[in-house]
Amino acid sequence: MQTMAQDPVFVSGKVETPRHFAQLILPVLDGSGSMTEPARGHISKAQATNMALRELLTRIKISGVAQNFTCGVLTFDQAVTERLAPTSIASVDDNGNYDPLDGHGGGTSIFLALEEAERVVDRFLLQAPDGGVPHTAVILLMSDGCCSRPDLTRTIAQRIKTGPNGYRVTIACTLCGTVGSVDTAGEALLREVASDPVKYYKTVYDAETLRAFMLASASAESGGQIP
């Protein structure tokens, strides 16, 4: 049986708030060549993504619930790179470079990114100790286009959502859109991938909207609003 809360702990004369839950936040960021296209704010889509993630990390680090969060980062094009292994949020560099184009720039293989995300999430959830706080994970998938193998992407997403750990995993998706253009195929695919096509999907055009959606998705699964 899992414990939902613990009493405050006094360490070296200060109060350290104990964890009430353990949540992995796993941004999965598209680094395909089209991420060089402009976003609002006179920056590229890749730069907007980097900015949004850094602001998200800062927001969580200064919150009163930071001790409950672990963060990892995956970037992808036709290959997947683990930019940050799952790390306690307090130790994550929120001024780091998470530009998804670094080391990428090819096509869009969402299915490969989801396969790696599944492995990272499973490792995190399997390490949960018996009788410890509840462990959950949120995959924050961001892409700016349709995958080269959409059917395989759907299959892997469904496996994540319905597998043994599926009840503890949420997939939230954003499509980083191009102003003046509509990617109906990309939007439809990401809505199918998301755990909920309304609550956990959004088309975004700028860094602030992307950051806000990521924060809202993490908040929804942490049992309350992140301050």
The closest alpha carbon to 80, from 113, 119, 35, belongs to 113
For the chain, 227 residues long, give each residue's pLDDT as a single digit of tens. Answer: 334 444 444 434 444 567 789 999 999 999 999 999 999 999 999 999 999 999 999 999 999 899 999 999 999 999 999 999 999 999 999 999 999 999 999 999 999 999 999 999 999 999 988 888 999 999 999 998 889 999 999 999 999 999 999 999 999 999 999 888 888 999 999 999 999 999 999 999 999 999 999 999 998 877 656 76
- Do the Cβ atoms of 56 and 162 come closer than 8 Å? no
C-alpha Rg value of the chain to the nearest Å = 17
Name all domains of the chain by residue range, CATH numbers in brackets.
44-135+145-220 (3.40.50.410)
148 touches 182 (CB < 8 A): no
Please, which residues have CB within 8 angstroms of residue 158's CB and are 6 or more apart in sequence? none
Distance from first CA to last CA of the chain, Å, rounded?
Answer: 29
pLDDT digits (tens, 9 = 90+) for 87-98: 999 999 999 999
Rounded Cα–Cα distance for residues 129 and 134 (Å): 9
How far CA 149 is from CA of 33, 57, 76, 169, in Å, comes to 17, 31, 14, 23
pLDDT digits (tens, 9 = 90+) for 34-55: 999 999 999 999 999 999 999 9
Sign, CA dihedral 34-145-172-28, equals negative
Q: Six-digit token pair at 194?
A: 């998301």
If you search the block for the tokens 């936040």, which residue do you land on? Answer: 25
**CA dihedral sign, ordered 22, 116, 203, 189:** negative
pTM equals 0.90
Comparing CA positions, the residue from 54, 36, 53, 57 lying closest to residue 45 is 36
Contacts of 129 (CB under 8 A, 6+ apart): none
Q: Are 122 and 83 in contact (CB under 8 A)?
A: no
